[in-house]
Amino acid sequence: MAGKEDEYDYLFKVVLIGDSGVGKSNLLSRFTRNEFNLESKSTIGVEFATKSIQTEGKTIKAQIWDTAGQERYRAITSAYYRGAVGALLVYDISKHVTFENVERWLKELRDHAEANIVVMLIGNKSDLRHLRTVTHEEAMEFAKKHNLAFLETSALDASGVDSAFQRILTEIYRLMSRKTIAANTATGPDLSRGETIALSSARDDASNRSKSSCAGSCK
Ligand SMILES: Nc1nc2c(ncn2[C@@H]2O[C@H](COP(=O)(O)OP(=O)(O)O)[C@@H](O)[C@H]2O)c(=O)[nH]1
Ligand SMILES: [Mg+2]
């Protein structure tokens, strides 16, 4: 049934990446369900969750993909990145090694994701001030050098979480509308009526994957 919540102008696939334990699954549950879980469960079992936001007069439906713990073994498959237009690259401000590994995650993106994917660096667990090992300045400098947007968040106290998603989705939208204008002026199709572009395949892929990966194991 097509309810009101199913009406959107654009659907964007965004992936969560970063070391195990940095808070990816909790960022997703905080943003989409306003929930936080103190226990560390490496497998939460959702492949993705969705939430719609408004930006610049458009409704953007974000389809946010979470790993099921494969990052622990550096075994994320290319299907995870397929069709993704954004990535939140997460580290833990209280574990410096997770920040050091950001460089490896950027390489992973270069190898598996679309070249023009929008990447945002997220320093999560900002509530753990007393345990901080990655300074704001250090991360800011790194983000500048690599041309990434950067924000600190706390999935626990919810600070910065909505802003992070809002910012990456708005940036993706702006980038895409600039491209659409360029395509129109270069005899492209008329996309000014708010048609979804090129993401339907990602959507089909998503639902197929959900079905196949749930075969015999999901309740
Ligand atoms: N203090 C604090 N703990 C967090 C935060 N986000 C996640 N955690 C905890 O960190 C652990 C790992 O979180 P999880 O979301 O499973 O990380 P993932 O492996 O990256 O998906 C869990 O015990 C969470 O409760 C946060 O913002 N602040
Ligand atoms: Mg997780």
d(CA 133, ligand 1 centre) in Å: 16
Q: Which ligand is nearest to the CA of 18?
A: 1
Complete domains list, the chain, with CATH: 4-211 (3.40.50.300)
d(CA 99, ligand 2 centre) in Å: 17
Per the prediction, the chain carries an average pLDDT of 85
CA 203, 78, 112, 25: dihedral to nearest 10 degrees?
Answer: 70
pLDDT of residue 105: 97
Residue 38 in this model has a pLDDT that exceeds 90: no
* CA 8 from centroid of its chain's CA atoms: 18
Residue 190 in this model has a pLDDT that exceeds 70: no
Question: How far, in Å, are 143, 180, 189 from residue 192 at the CA level?
Answer: 33, 8, 9
Give the C-alpha separation, 123 to 136, whole Å.
8
Choosing from 32, 40, 151 the residue with most ligand 1 atoms within 8 A of its CB, the one to mutate for a pocket test is 40
Least confident of 11-20, 95-104, 164-173, 194-203: 194-203
- Coil vs helix vs strand at 73: helix
The residue ranges of DSSP E strands in the chain, in sequence order, are: 10-17, 48-55, 58-65, 86-92, 118-124, 149-152
pLDDT of residue 193: 53
pLDDT of residue 194: 54
Residue 191 in this model has a pLDDT that exceeds 90: no
pLDDT of residue 211: 36
Phi, psi angles (nearest 5°) of residue 63: -110, 105
d(CA 45, ligand 1 centre) in Å: 16
pLDDT of residue 134: 98
Residue 62 in this model has a pLDDT that exceeds 50: yes
d(CA 5, ligand 2 centre) in Å: 26
d(CA 72, ligand 2 centre) in Å: 10
**Lining residues, ligand 1, CB within 6 Å:** 20-26, 37-40, 42, 124-125, 127-128, 154-156
pLDDT of residue 178: 87
User: Looking at residue 84, what DSSP letter applies?
Assistant: -
What is the distance between the terminal CA atoms of the chain, rounded to a whole angstrom?
A: 22
Atom of ligand 1 nearest to the CA of 90: 20
Give the C-alpha separation, 38 to 177, whole Å.
39
The larger pLDDT score, comparing residue 138 to residue 215, is at: 138
Atom of ligand 1 nearest to the CA of 157: 27
Atom of ligand 1 nearest to the CA of 66: 21
The 10s digit of each residue's pLDDT in 84-143 is 999 999 999 999 999 999 999 999 999 999 999 999 999 999 999 999 999 999 999 999
